[in-house]
Amino acid sequence: MTDGELRAIVERLVREAVEIQVRGTSCRMLPMNISARHMHVCQEHLEVLFGRGASLSKLRDLMQPGEFAANETVAVVGVNRRVFEQVRILGPVRKATQIELSYTDGRFLGMDLPARVSGDIAGTHPAVLIGPKGVVQLREGVIRALRHVHIGEDDAARIGVRNGQMVSVRTPGPLGVTFDQVLIRAGKNALREMHIDTDEANAAGLGAGATGELLF
């Protein structure tokens, strides 16, 4: 068994343990996962960066069905010419390329990043992407992802929330906080999961296996 296969098994067991904990406590509890800097890519840019006919190869599955962390990474160059090496791509490919960073990441690259819903990239910051086969001059697409909760449509109806609603989420522990303006993203096959960035997680003292409580 390779290190990657062992890591995938451990991560799956952690996700399953969190889901069991959530189901066994309260219908308003949800697992919280921390999104480190990453990007999504369109097919056109993928082929520029990795060569004609390139496709993403799976490193590990993510919690949401069909989504995965890819083996492929790129360098991201900011407006001040500072660089983040090996920014991981998440699959599958999308219609538009988008880079998601924390507020601190943005400051490092000389950007005051707007908090946006994924996919809302109009008028956002540019960046340069460097892959093993080519370079992409991204005219817009660098954002700080608005914190959000993925949830299945049936699950949302059962607990009384709807797609597009803003809710609050309370975290436990000595550094517990209440996150306001958390977007509900309800989908047919979605699993209950909140996404926050590394700045938000550090402020609340959260790590792997964290949970929160929906307030609305």
Give pTM, 2 decimals.
0.85
d(C-alpha 202, C-alpha 205), whole Å: 5
- What CATH class does 3-31+147-215 carry? mainly beta
**Mean pLDDT, 10 residues at a time, over the chain (216 residues)?**
65 54 63 97 98 98 96 98 98 98 98 95 97 98 97 93 97 92 96 96 92 93
d(C-alpha 143, C-alpha 130), whole Å: 18
- Of 107, 109, 74, nearest to 90 (Cα)? 74
d(C-alpha 127, C-alpha 140), whole Å: 7
What integer pLDDT is reported at residue 22 of this predicted model?
46
171 and 204 in contact (C-beta within 8 Å)?
A: yes
What integer pLDDT is reported at residue 27 of this predicted model?
76
Query: In angstroms, what CA-CA distances link 79 with 48, 85, 87, 107?
Result: 21, 15, 16, 10
What integer pLDDT is reported at residue 4 of this predicted model?
62
d(C-alpha 12, C-alpha 103), whole Å: 29
What integer pLDDT is reported at residue 12 of this predicted model?
60
What integer pLDDT is reported at residue 124 of this predicted model?
97
Q: Where are the domains of the chain?
A: 3-31+147-215, 36-145
Interacting residues of 163 by C-beta distance below 8 A, sequence separation 6+? 153, 156, 184, 185, 186, 187
Beta-carbon count within 10 A of 164 CB? 10
Return the amino acid letter for 30. Answer: L
d(C-alpha 11, C-alpha 90), whole Å: 16
d(C-alpha 200, C-alpha 207), whole Å: 11
Interacting residues of 162 by C-beta distance below 8 A, sequence separation 6+? 156, 184, 186
- Of 42, 39, 119, nearest to 74 (Cα)? 39
Q: What angle is formed at CA 199 by the lines to CA 75 and CA 151, rounded to 5 degrees?
A: 95
d(C-alpha 36, C-alpha 20), whole Å: 25
The encoded tokens of residue 188 equal 């047919």
What integer pLDDT is reported at residue 64 of this predicted model?
95
